[in-house]
Structure 1
């Protein structure tokens, strides 16, 4: 498992898919609020004048020299629901991100968010 402290060091490094194709640049890490374990990353994608952030799960991610390799294909990641580079993911949109990757989504027992930036 990737440790939060370790992956923070990789901010601004390339995020690549299993085939080594660059998806974008690592922007931030989100932890699962139930476990405090790294869960998702935001990746900056798009043209220089029209950047956006997409989410990608960190399960099975591998850190290499200057990159983070995720287990999801570039086209799937780029099609994920996105937010602006200065925005935050609204709580009501979290389920759509999980659904996009075929992952189960369960908010906290009190209905709280599932993802948070440490």
Structure 2
């Protein structure tokens, strides 16, 4: 697993898909609130005047010099739930991010979020 201290250093570096194709630029790291381990990143995608952020799980990610390679295809990532570059993910939209990748979603016992930006 990629350590949070390491991945923070790669903000603005390339995020590559499973085939090595560039998806976009790493914007932020989100941790699992139960474990405080890195769970997802947001990736800046889109045209220069119309950027948005998409979420990508880090489950099978590989970190290299200047890039993070994720275990998902670029087309799947770009079709995922997105937020504006200055927005935050609403709590009610978290489950949709997990569902897009076929991952289980489990909020906290009192309805706490599963993801937190670091």
Matches within 5 A, 1:1-118: 1-118=1-118
RMSD across aligned C-alpha pairs, in angstroms?
Answer: 0.4
Q: TM-score, normalised by structure 1?
A: 0.99
TM superposition shift of 1:65: 1.2
Q: Number of matched residues?
A: 118
TM superposition shift of 1:30: 0.2
Q: TM-score, normalised by structure 2?
A: 0.99
Bigger strand fraction: 2
TM superposition shift of 1:29: 0.2
Distance 2:117 2:105 in 1: 17
Moved over 6 A (4+): none
> Mind listing any 5+ residue stretches in structure 1 that lack a counterpart?
none
> Mind listing any 5+ residue stretches in structure 2 that lack a counterpart?
none
- C-alpha offsets along residues 85-118 of structure 1, whole Å, 9 cap, x if unaligned? 0000000000000000000001001101000012
